[in-house]
Structure 1
């Protein structure tokens, strides 16, 4: 009987221990500013995070207008993430209105940023994620922030981050293999706005566009005329529209220059789950494939015209 009682007590103790362990395990409520960042947080957090993106799929992070539900999400979040570098100018206003007392984790801390001249001012290009090497920096910052918020699952965050970094390194190698064999003077395409600066620097591609770093800027008639002359002079034959902003201006320029459509690029926003760019990795691969195909087409046309 004594043995039976002992076994019963041990089983009860084990059950209490299991219950305590289950109770201590948690799922972090995380808010990220836009879909690209939200996906990377999800890749690192795995099953331990519940991630909400404030800017929805196909949304423009420059011109986002938050809702009361977004304020509620921030107020109740365990961790919030922004990319930084001036991209989410609306985030601090939203956080203040929501009564959120925490500080967002700036995922781009540590990225070597690029400067550009725009309207006579030197500004930082915020589109850092358009090379996987910068997203590796994001990944490290995200891992640290999640581990600080949930130390119990730090080992899982570390393993997830290591696996994802390898995927990003492979993606960078894939992109270089696509572009490096083509002469740099033929790596030119027309897009809606200056969102591909980091991509262009890493892979030697020149992007011509009528708008600056933000879709909130306006193109001048003189600037558009100058761009049309450049496109004709440099024989840029392919243009792309972007999923998250108005395509009308770039289409008008294409009509004036004879450039042909190359498809849709996902540069600041993921597609819905059933689209071609539901994750960051698929988004970047989609851009690489489409741009590389356009450059190959231009190269063939140039060779035939000689």
Structure 2
């Protein structure tokens, strides 16, 4: 679907919900008195829900593992949820521009918006997959907690406890695996199918040698250059990479060919996804499963 058609559809949705702001209690707590939070992606929604506990209600708009966030078309239900929310979390960095259009269609006071890209200081043409950066995830945790304390000052200490539990208990295995992989495999050359892994690789100390332009092209749905394809083919055939990491939600013909080449070369392969998988998984369970699979692949490749 063309970008022009997508914009037209999104604006049509916006037009349907413009009256909501004037006839509803936007900017106040929900019917049960708890702040209403809407996250564009379930990655951020999972974190927001765990930090909020039973003091907030959290709705994630993109929560289907089979949905492509880059091409998502909002529904009237999505528009209504955003129109009535106290707090909206959008990824930004050009990843979910439809969120801002829905917000602009219902300009009301009392509704706060967290743009993750702006929070962490990423340019509009930067890598939008910020949930793969442990440093950025921590900044989001801090920002969400601060917002909850602003919306519900009486429960400020409760939100401090929720954050502490999430950081020290829920994320314990996530942080441990990152440290373990970095300690054991730092400097190991790896390849990847697209830019969603480009933020986690340096956190793990891995040397991602796939051409950056190729990673970006696959993520954005554009055609990689023949030169970049040739470089990756050589990296695989010459065993210049120890492990190949690919997004199982976006296996284009080029990526499938690279997977087949890696298998033929006996290079271990592991997968990651762009959204929570399986459906209903928590952020930490999803990340831990992927990190464990990567650690297994690295062990298989190196014997360490």
Q: Please indicate the TM-score interval, normalised by the length of the shorter structure.
A: 0.7 to 0.9
Which residue does the alignment assign to 2:196? 195
Aligned with 1:147 (options 146, 149, 153): 149
Where does 1:247-258 land on structure 2 (aligned, <5 Å)? 247-257=252-262, 258=264
Contact kept, 8 Å, 1:130 with 1:267, in 2: the verdict is no
Deviation at 1:267, TM superposition (A): 3.7
> What stretches of structure 1 of length at least 5 have no aligned partner?
1-22, 116-121
User: How many angstroms apart in 1 are the aligned matches of 2:98 and 2:168?
Assistant: 33
TM-score, reference length from structure 2:
0.76
Aligned with 2:96 (options 84, 88, 92): 88
Contact kept, 8 Å, 1:63 with 1:216, in 2: the verdict is no
Deviates more, 1:278-287 or 1:77-86: 77-86
User: How many angstroms apart in 2 are the aligned matches of 1:24 and 1:60?
Assistant: 32
Q: Partner of 1:180: helix, strand, or coil?
A: helix
1:231 and 2:236 correspond: yes
Per-residue CA distance 1:158-217 (angstroms, 9 max, x = gap) = 110121122436522332113322352x341x3331112221111112343743173333
Aligned with 2:180 (options 139, 158, 177): 177
Deviation at 1:76, TM superposition (A): 1.2
Task: Name the count of aligned residue pairs.
Answer: 265
Aligned with 1:284 (options 282, 287, 294): 287
Flag the 1:250–1:200 CA change in 2: closer, same or farther, 3 A. same
Where does 1:195-214 land on structure 2 (aligned, <5 Å)? 195-207=196-208, 208=210, 210-212=214-216, 214=219
User: How many angstroms apart in 1 are the aligned matches of 2:278 and 2:227?
Assistant: 34
TM-score, reference length from structure 1:
0.75
Contact kept, 8 Å, 2:129 with 2:196, in 1: the verdict is yes
Which residue does the alignment assign to 2:296? 293
Per-residue CA distance 1:35-67 (angstroms, 9 max, x = gap) = 110001001101122211111231332222211
1:38 and 2:45 correspond: yes
Where does 1:1-306 land on structure 2 (aligned, <5 Å)? 26-58=33-65, 59-97=67-105, 99-101=106-108, 102-107=111-116, 110-111=119-120, 123-167=125-169, 168=171, 171-182=174-185, 184=187, 186-188=188-190, 190-207=191-208, 208=210, 210-212=214-216, 214-236=219-241, 238-257=243-262, 258=264, 262-273=269-280, 278-300=281-303
Flag the 1:279–1:172 CA change in 2: closer, same or farther, 3 A. same
> What stretches of structure 2 of length at least 5 have no aligned partner?
1-29
Contact kept, 8 Å, 1:28 with 1:48, in 2: the verdict is yes
Which residue does the alignment assign to 1:18? none
Flag the 1:154–1:183 CA change in 2: closer, same or farther, 3 A. closer
Flag the 1:269–1:112 CA change in 2: closer, same or farther, 3 A. same
User: How many angstroms apart in 1 are the aligned matches of 2:289 and 2:98?
Assistant: 29
